[in-house]
Amino acid sequence: MNERQQLKEILLEKSYRQGSFTLTSGLTSDFYIDGKQTTLSAEGAYLCGKLILELILKQKEPIQAVGGMTLGADPLVTAVSLVSFLEKNPIPAFIVRKEAKGHGTGNYIEGLKNMPAGCRVALLEDVVTTGGTLLKVIERVEAQGFKVGVVITVVERQEGGVKTLADAGYTLESIFTKEELLS
């Protein structure tokens, strides 16, 4: 079994639920993907890190850091950074806060010391529905002078996220679309 298939099985076992759910976007759904149940497992984190790193390394221009909005992206950016180090191509991670830190530096972004000024970054998310959260992350990252090279998600729910990001000038890549995950 290949790594993508292994990850699919873990996602279906640990993260996929049927029922009635209200999503971050405010939409309701008859299924929910709790990505953190997979990304916080050792095997799931490793597989996500490896498969996302493969997508990052396929980019035309080099990606120099990986980040995303806390909390969903935290295990993903850590996994990608660790896997990149193990594969002798280290990429630092950063985390975007939901609110600016109320003390100390007051930063929205943690990990700035590890990132070259103005570098090209990949933004990660466990599950994308409409893309609204990612637009906030993009705004905060670009306000710090960084360039968003690619946005990557583990599962793209096929509910407008690709179009929202494309309309704003960004590419969303995924390990799985909803259709691929549930097929």
User: With left for phi above 0 and alpha for psi between -120 and 50, is residue 69 left, alpha or beta?
Assistant: beta
**Inter-helix orientation angle 3-10/42-57, to 10°:** 130
C-beta separation of 100 from 106 below 8 A: yes
Q: What CATH number was assigned to the domain covering residues 48-182?
A: 3.40.50.2020
Q: What is the pTM of this model?
A: 0.95
| CA-to-CA dists, residue 17 to 5, 27, 101, 156, 165, angstroms | 19, 16, 34, 15, 26
Beta bridge partners of 176: 155
**pLDDT reported for residue 95:** 97
Tens of each residue's pLDDT in the chain, 183 residues: 899 999 999 999 999 999 999 988 888 999 999 999 999 999 999 999 999 999 999 999 999 999 999 999 999 999 999 999 999 999 999 999 988 766 666 688 999 999 999 999 999 999 999 999 999 999 999 999 999 999 999 999 999 999 999 999 999 999 999 999 999
The residues spanned by each domain of the chain are 48-182
| CA-to-CA dists, residue 13 to 10, 54, 124, 156, angstroms | 5, 24, 22, 18
How many Cβ atoms sit within 10 Å of the Cβ of residue 48?
A: 28
The secondary structure of 33-50 as a DSSP string is: E-HHHHHTSHHHHHHHHH
**pLDDT reported for residue 1:** 83
| CA-to-CA dists, residue 162 to 90, 133, 174, angstroms | 28, 13, 10
